């Protein structure tokens, strides 16, 4: 009997804990294209269910995208989402957003809407894009989509693993050692 109660309690706790995940939040798709300077990354952020833009949810919706990249990533250009109200609200891009949660050797790229007029509501897609130099390559990285909720102003973060710039892999030291030993061996045989 206690075991059944324990299992039921665990299932209920898991259901409550996982409920926000069931709301989904966003779907992020990435397109990567080789360009003359390096790579172009385009992220399409589809808002599944974060704010309707009407009634009580008039100021709720997608408000930001963060991409974790190596600190050596050279951002040559960026294109922010196109939703704006001139003189009132617009999107910005920051190439090294300071954060206490940034791992060593990494930095955050940040796309951010400045006012509620920039929000993308449920059913809408925002597009963010950067062109990087060739000193990084496409790979798996952390993406964070941010929802703005009002009232009161607050934010909810949705974490994803997606495609973005990553460091160029360096050969392992064992591989380099074997290449060196192989070179010595071939040199010895020639004599």
Instruction: From first to last of the 191 residues of the chain, give the pLDDT tens digit.
Output: 554 443 333 333 333 333 333 447 999 999 999 999 999 999 999 999 999 888 877 789 999 999 999 999 999 999 999 998 777 899 999 999 999 989 999 999 999 999 888 999 999 999 999 999 999 999 999 999 999 998 778 999 999 999 999 998 766 544 554 545 444 444 444 45
Query: What confidence score (pLDDT) does residue 177 get?
Result: 44
Q: Which domains does the chain have, with CATH numbers?
A: 2-168 (2.60.40.1170)
B/e letters for 105-140, b = 16+ CB within 10 Å, e = fewer, are ebbbbbbbbeebebbbbbebebebbbbbeeebebee
Looking at residue 25, what DSSP letter applies?
-
* Rounded to 5°, angle at Cα 78 from 118 and 62: 25
Please report the pLDDT score of residue 84 as a whole number: 82
């Amino acid at each position: 009997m206690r075991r059944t109660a324990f299992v039921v309690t665990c299932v209920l706790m898991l259901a409550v804990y996982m409920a926000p995940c069931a709301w989904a939040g966003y779907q992020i798709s990435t397109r990567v294209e080789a360009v003359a300077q390096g790579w172009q990354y385009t992220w399409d952020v589809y808002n599944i269910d974060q704010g309707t833009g009407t009634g009580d949810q008039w100021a709720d919706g997608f408000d930001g995208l963060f991409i974790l990249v190596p600190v050596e990533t050279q951002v040559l250009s960026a294109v922010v989402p196109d939703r704006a109200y001139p003189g009132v609200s617009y999107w910005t891009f920051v190439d090294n957003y300071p954060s206490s949660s940034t791992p060593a050797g990494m930095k955050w790229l940040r796309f951010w809407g400045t006012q509620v007029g920039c929000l993308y509501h449920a059913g809408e897609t925002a597009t963010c894009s950067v062109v990087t130099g060739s000193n990084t390559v496409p790979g798996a990285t952390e993406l964070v989509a941010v929802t703005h909720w009002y009232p009161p102003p607050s934010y909810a973060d949705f974490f994803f693993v997606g495609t973005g710039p990553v460091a160029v892999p360096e050969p392992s030291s064992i591989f380099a050692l074997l290449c060196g030993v192989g070179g010595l061996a071939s040199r010895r045989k020639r004599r």
